[in-house]
Amino acid sequence: MQTAEIPVRIAPAGITQAPSRKAWVEQLMGMPISIHVKAIDVERPEIRAAVANAFDHLRQVDRVFSAWRADSDLLRMRRGELAVEDAHPWLTEVIDLCAEAELRTGGLFTSTLPDPSGQDPTGELFFDPTGLVKGWAIAGAAAYLQTLHQVSFCVNAGGDLLVGTGRGMDRGTDSWRVGVQDPLDGLRLARVLTVSEGAVATSGTAARGAHVLDPATGRRITRPGSATVYGPDIMWADIWATALFVDPVRGAALMGTNDPDYASILL
């Protein structure tokens, strides 16, 4: 798939030489994923190379973890065609991270889910790390951008995003404004966050319907609303957003105890 490029000129206050901003967009992992970069010269070859490597990383993640591609390592493992030890090493890493996430969230996050296609008549539960893999994949893609000199970047995967800087930039010298959508009115922003370094993730029913499972009942959550979590790590922000949407009260208490560097917006 050809990558779309969207150039935008910006001029932050206090900067005499206005940097440029450019966005590259691809449809990957079942969602639009965009990479935004701000730099004095966004046409530098090393920036283009880093963006290409970031998208290649996400394509490889999809090849390993897709719950829809019959040839993914995940589905081959489910069918008994591939042993975990023979799969891509990422699979073992993610299995361990899912176990840690379930423990840290008190079971509000789970990677044991029904067949996402809805075509399994048995109701059997499967290992499905999708709720963790997206944030984990964003962090892996962003690592290529962090090697760049004098850039600020934002990686946005289906509304969950990671903001950071490359080498040679002090943290906090550049920021991105991140809107939090009102889950009851898609045309309204409920909050706007200013983020210079860190992650923002949202879980709810507004965009994808009832896709979040309550592990305690085994049923998908249909109520309106959303839980947005922001903090230093995109994977954990995404995990905690899911946990807080499942149980806002218990999830907030566990996050405050186990991950106090994160904060939430419950709508």
Burial of 53 (0-12, 13-18, 19+ CB in 10 A): middle
| Residue 5 · residue 22 · CB < 8 Å | yes
pTM: 0.88
CATH of the domain at 116: 3.10.520.10
Q: Which of 110, 106, 115, 107 minimizes the C-alpha distance to 98?
A: 110
Distances (CA, A) of 101 to 4, 52, 95: 34, 30, 10
| Residue 73 · residue 93 · CB < 8 Å | no
DSSP string, 9-74: E---TT-SSPPEEEEEEEEETTEEEEEEEEES-TT-HHHHHHHHHHHHHHHHHHHHH-SS-TTSHH
Question: Structure tokens of 114?
Answer: 């029904």
Domain containing 45 equals 4-266
| Residue 195 · residue 230 · CB < 8 Å | yes
Q: How far is CA 63 from the centre of its chain?
A: 17
Distances (CA, A) of 26 to 3, 5, 173: 5, 9, 28
Question: Structure tokens of 189?
Answer: 């922003």
The C-alpha atoms of residue 196 and residue 131 are separated, in whole angstroms, by 25
Distances (CA, A) of 90 to 14, 61, 240: 43, 8, 22
Indicate if the alpha-carbon torsion angle 25, 26, 30, 36 is positive or negative: negative
Q: Which residues, at least 6 apart from 240, have a Cβ–Cβ distance to it below 8 Å? A: 105, 201, 229, 231, 251, 255, 259, 262, 264
In this predicted structure, what is the pLDDT of residue 220?
A: 84
In this predicted structure, what is the pLDDT of residue 172?
A: 65
Q: What is the mean pLDDT of each run of 10 residues along the chain (267 residues)?
A: 37 55 95 96 96 98 94 95 97 98 96 69 80 97 96 95 90 85 90 95 82 83 92 98 96 97 96
**Domains in the chain: how many in total?**
1
